[in-house]
């Protein structure tokens, strides 16, 4: 077998070529293996003995029984804490400075425990230990930390403390976890990217003066009151397919692009009467303390003011979800907005939302409208809306795309509004989805007799 003192021996078939690679390359290769497999390479040769400890990444994936897996991870972390990095000598002292890591990935899930005896008791112990492992990874000065638990419809894994302090963490990804602790990342000055997916967020606040990119997908905000998202340096935001009560967005002056979708009937902000104003019904949970924010004590715009600095914006929701339409009563002008996508919710209330954006987006260049179907409360031929006065948007708006099933009364009303705002019919592209596919065509004019 090859070692550092002798070059690797190659068989006639060309074996053991990996040992001929420089250490940096071999360490990178090991970073793609699960940790329990990377460790096994220590027996390949003397030159491989501690190579895994210098790998830039740890991938900790559940295997074996809970007891064996727990023992393995505990030993793995102790060994990694004492691993030599950048000339640092090994140390058996557990309080020694931890080894630097580029990334650490934890991946486990409920199916890993289905065959375990006393699964509930063991899961409680396991949950406590995984919280410790999470903190250890942060202490290892990890730059990218991924913590993924696949709950498969069951309860997520509770992560107790997300008030993190790290001078090295740049990216944090959480999946399948629950937290009742405020997410305060003010102690992470280089953290720029946070992603959460399939999580339960029972938190009053998500805070960081440094974060630039936030993605919250398929999560549930389970706090009765609203979660305040305070990220003044955020550049991009994705809030998609979530449930519970919509969060309260604080001012984000650096925001460039945002996608916010309420394409789920699980949002608690759906009015039973689809009312723009708080309907006053005692049975309507969506209107109960709708605008009240316990963090500020004020009633105000929930989302749109926080998004008002964006240059690219996508807003999608069922018409029954009233957040966007109610926000328009308090929203500021979108003075930087150049690209806007609206889906479904804007068709309600005589298309007043569309008219609002045309009047409050003075440099809008591209507008895309998605209409998935004609809703019960949509405009009919007998309920033509009052045409608005032209807006300043007409001088900048160059492209309008309407994506629909068919050119019906709703589309005709939209065309009337656009032309009233000075948008030439030739700049409007309509895509109709039919049973045989999609049909694209340019609008060259229309007649109200088509209604």
Q: How far apart are CA 256 and CA 66, in angstroms?
A: 45
DSSP secondary structure of 232-266: TT--EEEEES-EESPPEE---TT--EEEEEE-STT
Alpha helices (runs of H) in 8-65, residue ranges in sequence order: 23-30, 35-38
Q: Judging by DSSP bridges, how do beta strands 428-434 and 366-370 pair with one another?
A: unpaired
Residues 285 and 321: beta-carbon distance below 8 Å: no
pLDDT score recorded for residue 159: 84
CB proximity list for 292: less than 8 A, separation 6 or greater: 225, 298, 299
pLDDT score recorded for residue 91: 39
Q: Grade residue 211 by pLDDT with cuts at 50, 70 and 90.
A: very high
pLDDT of 111 above 60: no
pLDDT of 336 above 80: yes
pLDDT of 315 above 50: yes
Q: Grade residue 93 by pLDDT with cuts at 50, 70 and 90.
A: very low
Q: Grade residue 76 by pLDDT with cuts at 50, 70 and 90.
A: confident
Q: Grade residue 225 by pLDDT with cuts at 50, 70 and 90.
A: confident
Q: How far apart are CA 422 and CA 100, in angstroms?
A: 60
pLDDT of 444 above 90: no
Lowest-pLDDT choice from 76-85, 377-386, 442-451: 377-386
Q: How far apart are CA 295 and CA 273, in angstroms?
A: 28
Rg (CA), the chain: 28
Six token digits for residue 122: 């063991």
Among 133, 112, 134, smallest CA distance to 123 is for 112
Q: Grade residue 188 by pLDDT with cuts at 50, 70 and 90.
A: very high
State the angle between helix axes of 66-81 and 119-139 in degrees (0 to 180), rounded to the nearest 10: 10
Element spanning 129, H or E: helix 119-139
Lowest-pLDDT choice from 59-73, 110-124, 183-197: 110-124
Please state, rounded to an integer, the average pLDDT across all residues of the chain.
Answer: 76
Mean pLDDT of 22-49: 68
pLDDT in tens, 369-422: 999 875 444 444 344 445 556 555 567 888 999 998 888 888 888 998 898 888
Q: How far apart are CA 422 and CA 417, in angstroms?
A: 9
Name the 3-class secondary structure at 371.
coil
pLDDT in tens, 260-277: 998 766 677 777 666 666
């Amino acid at each position: 077998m090859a070692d550092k003192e002798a070059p690797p021996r190659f068989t006639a078939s060309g074996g053991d070529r990996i040992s001929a690679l420089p250490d940096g390359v071999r360490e990178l290769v090991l970073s793609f293996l699960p940790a329990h497999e990377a460790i096994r390479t220590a027996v390949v040769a003397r030159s491989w003995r501690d190579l895994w400890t210098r790998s830039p990444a740890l991938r900790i994936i559940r295997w074996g029984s809970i007891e064996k897996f727990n023992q393995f991870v505990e030993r793995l972390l102790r060994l990694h804490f004492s691993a030599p990095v950048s000339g640092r000598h090994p140390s058996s002292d557990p309080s020694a400075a931890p080894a630097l890591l580029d990334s650490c990935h934890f991946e486990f899930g409920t199916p890993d425990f289905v065959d375990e005896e006393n699964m509930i008791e063991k899961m409680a112990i396991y949950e406590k230990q995984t919280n410790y492992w999470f903190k250890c990874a942060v202490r290892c000065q990890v730059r990218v930390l991924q913590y993924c638990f696949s709950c498969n419809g069951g309860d997520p894994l509770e992560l107790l403390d997300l008030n993190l302090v790290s001078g090295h963490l740049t990216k944090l990804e959480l999946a399948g976890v629950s937290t009742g602790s405020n997410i305060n990342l003010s102690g992470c000055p280089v953290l720029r990217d946070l992603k959460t997916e399939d999580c339960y967020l029972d938190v009053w606040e998500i805070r960081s003066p440094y974060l630039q990119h936030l993605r919250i997908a398929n999560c549930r905000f389970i706090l009765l009151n609203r979660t305040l998202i305070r990220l003044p340096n955020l550049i991009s935001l994705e809030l998609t397919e979530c449930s519970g009560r919509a969060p309260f967005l604080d001012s984000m002056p650096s925001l460039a692009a945002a996608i916010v979708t309420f394409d789920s009937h699980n949002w608690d902000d759906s009015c039973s009467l689809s009312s723009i104003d708080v309907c006053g019904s005692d049975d309507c949970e969506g209107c109960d303390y709708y605008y009240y924010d316990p963090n500020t004590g004020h009633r105000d715009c929930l989302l749109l003011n926080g998004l008002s600095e964006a240059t690219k914006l996508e807003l999608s929701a069922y018409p029954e979800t009233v957040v966007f339409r109610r926000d328009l009563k308090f929203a500021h002008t979108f003075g930087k907005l150049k690209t806007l996508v609206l889906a479904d919710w804007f068709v309600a209330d005589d298309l007043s939302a569309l008219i609002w954006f045309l009047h409050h987006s003075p440099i809008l260049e591209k507008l895309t409208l998605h209409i998935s179907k004609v809703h019960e409360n949509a405009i009919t031929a007998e309920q033509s809306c009052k045409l608005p006065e032209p807006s300043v948007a007409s001088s900048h708006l160059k492209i309008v795309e309407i994506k629909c099933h068919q050119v019906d009364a709703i589309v005709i009303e939209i065309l009337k509004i656009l032309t009233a705002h000075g948008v030439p019919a030739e700049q409007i592209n309509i895509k109709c989805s039919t049973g045989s596919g999609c049909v694209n065509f340019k609008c060259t004019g229309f007649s109200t007799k088509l209604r």
